[in-house]
Amino acid sequence: MSEQVRLGAAALRREQVTAVARGAATVALDEVAERELARARALVEAQADARPPAYGVSTGFGALAVRHIPAEQRSQLQRSLIRSHSAGAGAVVEREVVRAMLLLRLRTLVSGYSGVRPVTARSLAALLNAGITPVVHEHGSLGCSGDLAPLAAAALALIGEGEVFDRDGTRLPASEALAAAGIEPLTLAEKEGLSLINGTDGMLGMLVLAVEDLCALVDVADLTAAMSVEALLGTDRAFAQELQELRPHPGQAVSARRMRAALAGSQIMASHRGEDCTRVQDAYSLRCAPQVHGATRDTLDHAAAVADRELASVIDNPVVLADGRLQSCGNFHGAPVGYVLDFLAVAVADLASIAERRTDRLLDVSRSHGLPAFLAANPGVDSGHMIAQYTQAAVVSELKRLAVPASVDSVPSSAMQEDHVSMGWGAARKLRRAISGLTTVLAVELLTAARALDLRAPLLPAPGTGAVRDLLRTRVPGPGPDRHLAPEIAAAEELIASGAVLHAALPRERR
pLDDT, one tens digit per residue, over 378-405 is: 999 999 999 999 999 999 999 999 999 9
CA–CA distance, 226 with 221 (Å, rounded to integer): 8
Q: Write the CB contacts of 383 (distance below 8 Å, at least 6 apart in sequence).
A: 374, 376, 482
Looking at the chain, the domain(s) classified CATH 1.20.200.10 span: 206-508
The DSSP bridge pattern shows strands 137-139 and 89-92 to be: antiparallel
What's CA 334's distance to the chain center, in Å?
A: 16
> DSSP 3-state helix, strand, coil percentages of the chain (rounded to 5)?
55, 5, 35
Phi and psi (nearest 5°) for 142?
Answer: -100, 0
| CATH number for the domain whose boundaries are 4-198 | 1.10.275.10
Distances (CA, A) of 277 to 237, 270, 302: 13, 11, 41
Query: What per-residue confidence (pLDDT) applies to 511?
Result: 39
Query: What per-residue confidence (pLDDT) applies to 322?
Result: 85
CA–CA distance, 85 with 64 (Å, rounded to integer): 14
User: Residue 339 catalytic?
Assistant: no
pLDDT in tens, 69-121: 777 777 888 999 999 999 999 999 999 999 999 999 999 999 999 999 999 99
Query: What per-residue confidence (pLDDT) applies to 474?
Result: 98
Q: At what angle do helices 289-311 and 14-22 cross, to 10 degrees?
A: 90
Instruction: Domain 206-508: give its CATH superfamily.
Output: Fumarase/aspartase (Central domain) (1.20.200.10)
CA–CA distance, 332 with 426 (Å, rounded to integer): 16
Among the listed residues 55, 284, 339, 390, the single catalytic one is 55
Query: What per-residue confidence (pLDDT) applies to 94?
Result: 98
Looking at the chain, the domain(s) classified CATH 1.10.275.10 span: 4-198
Going 44 to 45 to 51 to 56, the CA torsion angle's sign is: positive
Helix (H) or strand (E) holding 320: strand 319-320
* Residues in the chain where the model's pLDDT stays below 70: 1, 49-56, 58-66, 275-278, 507-511
Query: What per-residue confidence (pLDDT) applies to 328?
Result: 86
Nearest to 301 by CA among 218, 239, 203: 218
